[in-house]
Copies of this chain bind each other. A is one copy, B any other.
Amino acid sequence: MTPDQFRTVGHELIEWVAAYMERVETLPVIPPVAPGDVRAQLPAAAPEQGEPWDAIVADLDRIVVPATTHWQHPGWYAYFPANASGPSILGELVSAGLGMQGMLWSTGPVCTELETHVLDWLVDLLDLPRAFRSDSTGGGVIQHSASDAVLCAIVAARVQAGGDPASLVAYCSTQTHSSVEKDLRVAGIPHLRAIGVDGAYAMRADELARQIADDRAAGLTPFFCCASLGTTSSLAFDPVAAIGEVCRDAGVWLHVDAAMAGVAAICPEHRWLNDGLEHVASYATNAHKWLYTNFDCDLFWVRDRAALIGALSILPEYLRNAASESGAVIDYRDWHVPLGRRFRALKLWFVLRHYGAEGLRAALREDIQLAQELAAKVEGDPRLELAAPARLSLVCLRHRDGDDATRALLEAVNADGAVYLTHTVLDGSYTVRVSIGALPTERHHVERLWTLIDAAAGG
């Protein structure tokens, strides 16, 4: 493809993406497709000869969009927001165009330094501990996902703990994201304790302390704990300050998973999120959920970069180079599992510069306001109840008539096609989650959602 062909098709696809942004609201959030429908439209073999772009672009409308789950729809209240803002899409474009592999400083100086710099910016913007900054003992790195961040934290903690791997014990709560269990399995850690939660679904620090003591008494080695700032099911906030004291006393590596909610600390009124982070060994939040940056862009900080690098660094001859050996540079290959890495800091830089901190704060505040107003309506409705405290942008609700009624409500609301809600189970009861934060969601969308909920709740 010549640069001129790239221009022609590129301009067409910019128009295509812009038009998708404009029309996504008219599409059903969940496409009406059955398993196999997509494959049935595809040829059995790859083309032997190149095809014209008219055919390829036509297939975006014919095959791709009709089988797309529209995460960018204003009626997206499912799972979590996965905002692909314009600036982040364009950052991905330029990053792909440069095609740089930032595994070493020398293979991409700007890929490395912009990442370090922007993650330092975010330490300050989010008011995280100064020790997370690269000019202190720590530093930040972009990981693929929060799962990958937890895995790196687990491996660093395991190397730091030493001793017999069979004796190692990790801790989380009954509400912790499943990635922790998965990552422990990947890392070969045999023991995981799911600590009980309080009425607000937050980890009980006293129970954690008791379990750690019991395990130590049994000859085991407590080594890692994951606390959540914003659980997946109900956006519960574990008491990091209390957990942190327990972990500090026990010599346990405390990782904080603030995947969705952590970015809210960009607003000074939500800095309560950071209480206790001075005890934390590692911390992750996802710019690719609620900070307007398309996937992947997990932000991971450690207090002690030497512990992370020591766990993950292996240096073969073919990667040796003068810059690395000078000790004056960061080689991010030593900060995560993969060797290769794209230039993901670019899109984050575009987002921060296009919106500015004030623009991002305003967007988050609007989402939170809309969620709190919805929560108030639920609380004020005799047919419904909040299933958990409504914090920030997540509202968990139930029908007072029980699980079947709640399930029926979810199905009725989703049947409309213009909105999509997902569910969880809290304290044994079926629960509808309303996660507000998709980029194009405005007040009138949430008002329409309430109309649907109101109708579905019945007489």
How close is A266's CB to chain B, nearest CB, in angstroms?
Answer: 10
Decide if A223 is an interface residue (CB 8 Å cutoff).
no
Decide if A218 is an interface residue (CB 8 Å cutoff).
no
Q: Which chain A residues (201-231) contact chain B, with CB distance < 8 Å?
A: none
Q: Which chain A residues (346-400) contact chain B, with CB distance < 8 Å?
A: 346, 350, 352-359
Decide if A145 is an interface residue (CB 8 Å cutoff).
yes
Additional A-B contacts beyond A69-B109, A148-B337, A296-B342 (14; CB < 8 A)? A42-B117, A50-B354, A64-B110, A71-B99, A79-B101, A82-B340, A89-B96, A145-B339, A147-B339, A178-B314, A178-B315, A182-B314, A186-B186, A186-B312
CB neighbours of A277 from chain B (8 A): none
Pairwise interchain contact A39-B116, C-beta atoms closer than 8 A: yes
Contacts from A to B (Cβ < 8 Å): 1-7, 9-11, 13-22, 30-31, 33, 35-39, 42, 45-51, 53, 55-56, 60, 63-64, 67-72, 79, 82-90, 92-94, 96-101, 105-111, 113-114, 116-118, 121-122, 124-125, 144-145, 147-148, 151, 155, 158, 164-166, 177-179, 181-183, 185-190, 232-233, 288, 294-296, 311-312, 314-319, 323, 326, 328-329, 337-342, 346, 350, 352-359, 422-425, 433
CB neighbours of A358 from chain B (8 A): 48-50
Pairwise interchain contact A94-B17, C-beta atoms closer than 8 A: yes
Pairwise interchain contact B68-A179, C-beta atoms closer than 8 A: no
Q: Which residue of B lies closest to A159 (CB)?
A: B185
CB neighbours of A10 from chain B (8 A): 14, 17-18, 86, 90, 93
Pairwise interchain contact A18-B4, C-beta atoms closer than 8 A: yes
CB neighbours of A90 from chain B (8 A): 6, 9-10, 13
Asked, given contacts A185-B311, A318-B233, whether A46 binds B101 with beta carbons under 8 Å apart, the answer is: no
CB neighbours of A233 from chain B (8 A): 317-318
Pairwise interchain contact B47-A18, C-beta atoms closer than 8 A: no
Pairwise interchain contact B108-A69, C-beta atoms closer than 8 A: yes
Pairwise interchain contact B346-A64, C-beta atoms closer than 8 A: yes
CB neighbours of A71 from chain B (8 A): 98-101, 107
CA distance A110 to B62 in the complex (A): 11
How close is A85's CB to chain B, nearest CB, in angstroms?
Answer: 6
How close is A299's CB to chain B, nearest CB, in angstroms?
Answer: 13
CB neighbours of A92 from chain B (8 A): 92-93, 96
CB neighbours of A189 from chain B (8 A): 188
Pairwise interchain contact B89-A47, C-beta atoms closer than 8 A: no
How close is A49's CB to chain B, nearest CB, in angstroms?
Answer: 4
How close is A107's CB to chain B, nearest CB, in angstroms?
Answer: 5
* The 9 nearest A-B residue pairs measured at CB: A84-B99, A188-B188, A1-B86, A17-B97, A10-B14, A67-B110, A38-B113, A145-B338, A50-B356
Q: Which residue of B lies closest to A108 (CB)?
A: B69
